[in-house]
Structure 1
């Protein structure tokens, strides 16, 4: 974690980038990282960044952007007429740099509030008894979408105690960010690339009749 890296004085430079940008387009300096700043730093010298006011999507303009993708026999451009590429990530620009708030395609509208599961996961995954934790949104007549948590408990840990600790931490969050149900999932894990297959686990959450605490 970032806290462990800082305790070890590791000179890390968190950055933001995508395949379409041919690598990073912003980076935090190691000094700023060690000082406690948690973001992706400022845009590189040949990059412009902005936030779409309607969707909060991160937009990038740079000569390093990909020329496009092949659509049949045509080259389909990624950028608009002004040279801006709109990413699938939401964020905000602060005095210290670019903050990533989450993926737009997995954002959840819960009770009229936009919730990014990644942020809630980061807030809840610190329990010592949690081996893995993933949040997805399920349809709900009252909330529109309700946030539910899939949890894999570490071997030997007290399941009820771990869920109780998670609920205590969740109650510190805004109402829309509090999971409405907790599903125990012994098989919960990322794929070989270390990424969550959220669609797969969303379908699992819809079908699986887990014990709820």
Structure 2
């Protein structure tokens, strides 16, 4: 099967390529990468290549059937209508917005260029339409950082607030949503649906902790696994990785090993964080995803990012990178953070430093670029943890 990139990364070009690949007989579409080989599996619709937040590249092969199954399952859960594309069309979340629009036979609205609240609100207003006298429901998909920008703008701009309220559902994925941001959205009247998934599952396949129809989930040795018709075929040109990440059990069921820790309680999934985003601090395993969730629960720190750093005494520690605060505010912020994290997770989990930054580096998906942050902190001696007793930012003797 031939594999062709769209004419550009412009959403309209991607839409045309997807229309041919998903609902027509056109070639598969290569997104996010350069030239790819022709020998992709039959039935492939897209190959999504991304380095992700860790900097490790992967090319995920997604079939036409998987994309369609995912789109129909989403419609069954939240309803059908018109879609607004506000995330990059070359990432799986953007691909699914376009596929849902194609299958609904409705031209998607598009917010192109750098994300700003005003064009988003204008595009949302322009979607208003009626079918046989009934209002056509509208939907969109955002990452948490976009939602937070919209909520901040809505405080002073009634048109942005009304735009957020106009959607039947706003899918939020890509990373965990801070509780305070979710509460602000609910108070405004925005209908938020938290989604969980990845390119390997054709996008979000668990909504508000409950799997879509046809999706199975389990937790094996603490790791979340997903199954069903939305699973990708695997990784292009990497059969060993494909076999490792997509095992088949004794019953013949094919699963995707997410690499996330979690638990299922009364049929609802709770993801606790990446299993590989764990440091060993003073002999204690500490999940940095859990630390980050605790930090983001503090008012004013909803956009903070937690990254590992060396610790001269404890081996490994963590730093909290906070956008929008001044260096003079770092010490006060650290005291709040250490108190909150210590109360929730214990002293070994408490971050050692707070590092102020004007603006977080992000990937084109809108997620924080954690690899760039780790590299920047490695070059900055101020960001390293210090032995206890070296100042108020050290861990202190109560780590033991």
Pick from 35, 46, 49 the counterpart of residue 217 of structure 2.
Answer: 49
Pick from 309, 312, 327 the counterpart of residue 138 of structure 1.
Answer: 309
Shift, 1:152, TM fit: 3.3
1:125-184 CA distances to partner (integer Å, 9 max, x unpaired)?
3343x5852212224465342122223343698444334333433442312220023333
Q: Which runs of 5+ in 2 are unaligned?
A: 1-180, 384-390, 394-400
Residues 131 and 22 of structure 1: CA distance in aligned 2, closer, same or farther (over 3 Å)? closer
Pick from 191, 195, 202 the counterpart of residue 374 of structure 2.
Answer: 202
Shift, 1:21, TM fit: 1.2
Alpha-carbon contact 1:89-1:100 (below 8 Å) kept? yes
Q: Is 2:351 aligned against 1:179?
A: yes
Residues 7 and 72 of structure 1: CA distance in aligned 2, closer, same or farther (over 3 Å)? closer
Residues 158 and 181 of structure 1: CA distance in aligned 2, closer, same or farther (over 3 Å)? closer
1:25-74 CA distances to partner (integer Å, 9 max, x unpaired)?
2212xxxxxxxxxxxx2222312111121xx2211121221222321799
Counterpart CA distance in 1 for 2:327 and 2:231 is 49
Counterpart CA distance in 2 for 1:209 and 1:80 is 43
Counterpart CA distance in 2 for 1:157 and 1:131 is 19
Counterpart CA distance in 1 for 2:378 and 2:256 is 34
Alpha-carbon contact 1:106-1:116 (below 8 Å) kept? yes
**Correspondence for 2:186:** 6
Shift, 1:2, TM fit: 0.9
RMSD: 3.2
Residues 192 and 85 of structure 1: CA distance in aligned 2, closer, same or farther (over 3 Å)? closer
Counterpart CA distance in 2 for 1:185 and 1:165 is 18
Q: Is 2:269 aligned against 1:117?
A: no
**Correspondence for 1:107:** 278
Counterpart CA distance in 1 for 2:238 and 2:288 is 35
**Correspondence for 1:38:** none
TM-score w.r.t. structure 2 length? 0.43
Q: Is 2:252 aligned against 1:80?
A: no
Q: Is 2:256 aligned against 1:64?
A: no
Alpha-carbon contact 1:190-1:196 (below 8 Å) kept? yes
Alpha-carbon contact 1:124-1:170 (below 8 Å) kept? yes
Shift, 1:100, TM fit: 1.3
Counterpart CA distance in 2 for 1:4 and 1:180 is 30
Alpha-carbon contact 2:327-2:355 (below 8 Å) kept? no
Residues 20 and 171 of structure 1: CA distance in aligned 2, closer, same or farther (over 3 Å)? closer
Q: Is 2:269 aligned against 1:91?
A: no
Q: Which runs of 5+ in 1 are unaligned?
A: 29-40
Counterpart CA distance in 2 for 1:206 and 1:69 is 31
Pick from 336, 340, 348 the counterpart of residue 169 of structure 1.
Answer: 340
Alpha-carbon contact 1:127-1:165 (below 8 Å) kept? no
Question: Which structure's residues are more often helix, by fraction?
Answer: 2
Matched residue of 2:337: which SS? helix
TM-score w.r.t. structure 1 length? 0.75
Residues 48 and 208 of structure 1: CA distance in aligned 2, closer, same or farther (over 3 Å)? same
